[in-house]
Chains A and B, each alone.
Chain A
Amino acid sequence: MIRKEAMKIILDQIALSPIISANGFMSRDLFELKEKISNFYMIGSMGLASSIGLGVALKNPRKKIYVFDGDGNILMNLGSLVTTGYLCPKNLIHIIFDNNSHESTGGQPTASNEIELSKFGQVCNYKVFTITDKTSLKNCFKKIKKINQSVMIVIKISKSDVRSHRVSLKPEFIKKRFMNSLKLKK
């Protein structure tokens, strides 16, 4: 399973929920697969999608907030897991697409095959799922509907040569419409 395939399965499950997507290929894939006003494409500030997601989750307790993160990104901000675990938002779903590499910068390796990211989630009070195939990814989204704590889903994916277009929207436009989307009831 490559990132775009995994993302497609998830997007079919979560309707119009807000998503904060990490910089690099993550945001590009999301932009190409399902462009919508409740996507916050974080095009800079590497590592911070999980923190932005935490801030949004704390202020919108009635909405499920999704973070689309990569292994390289979360490794830059492991501290955010500690802060999230301490504050315990019940509506944050942190999805880590783990290809064991910094794919956006040329595929350099990360340590995520040797050091399991899911273990960080466990000590930081997340309900953790590790996924390696499409069927269990679909099933996982049925289970998390009933869970009343922060969720971390680590999806082991393969590297890929599939490339999506750059996010062509202006940052301020992304911000404004994301803010408007949060004001909507659904």
Chain B
Amino acid sequence: MTNSFQIKIFDYLQKHNIQNFIGVPDSTLKEFISYGLKNKKIIVTTREEEAIGIATGMCLSGSDSLVFMQNAGFANSLSTITSLVKLYKIPMIFLIGWRGYLKDDAPEHLQIGKIQPELIKIIELPSKTLSENNWKKNCDWAIKKIKNNSPCALIVKREFHD
């Protein structure tokens, strides 16, 4: 994913009334997060569950929210997603960086990277993977999902090495 691509997503979501961007930094989503920080639109939390909690409070207040994280953090968040977000039908967008997508990624990402698509399916979180060609269409899909009271996930593949 190129730099401008992530920045475009940020602007697009913001234009479509996503007001809060909360999460734990991820190098795959670096451009998205840096751009949001520069515009003073990002809240960085200590853990992913905390970000989901804050986003829940904001959604309850009628303010649409996105939570960003790496898939390691997604694994941390499973209980929160099932026993809060899904249980109460809190409409928020998850933006998840997919480490371990490349088979030669760092070893700590390989197992979670391998089961990532299955994991999202098992907890019944609707998701789409973003690419250069489909990002606008999939962002529209996510915006529509939360308007219909359903949480959903947008996935960004890690297709490069440090």
Contacts and interface: CB of A to CB of B under 8 A. Distances in A.
Interface of A: 20, 40, 42-60, 77, 79-80, 82-83, 87, 171-172, 174-175, 178-179, 182-183
| B49, B61, B87, B89 — most chain A CB neighbours (10 Å) | B61
B63 to A, nearest CB: 5
B73 interface: no
A20 to B, nearest CB: 8
A123 B96 CA distance: 32
Interface residues of B, number: 29
Given A77-B49, A79-B50, A83-B46, A48 B80 contact: yes
Interface of B: 43, 45-47, 49-63, 65, 79-80, 82-84, 87-90
B161 to A, nearest CB: 30
Nearest to B58: A55
Looking at chain B's contact residues, the main secondary structure is helix
Given A44-B83, A83-B43, A54 B88 contact: no
Contact of A58 (B47, B52, B57, B87): B57
A44 B84 contact: yes
Contacts of B90: 175
B61 A53 contact: no
A136 B83 CA distance: 36
Contacts of A40: 60
Contact of A55 (B55, B79, B82, B87): B55
A48 B53 contact: yes
A37 B59 CA distance: 17
B158 to A, nearest CB: 25
25 contacts: A42-B84, A43-B83, A43-B87, A45-B53, A48-B50, A48-B52, A48-B53, A48-B56, A52-B54, A52-B56, A52-B60, A53-B57, A55-B58, A55-B65, A56-B57, A58-B57, A58-B58, A80-B46, A83-B54, A87-B43, A172-B88, A172-B89, A178-B60, A179-B61, A179-B62
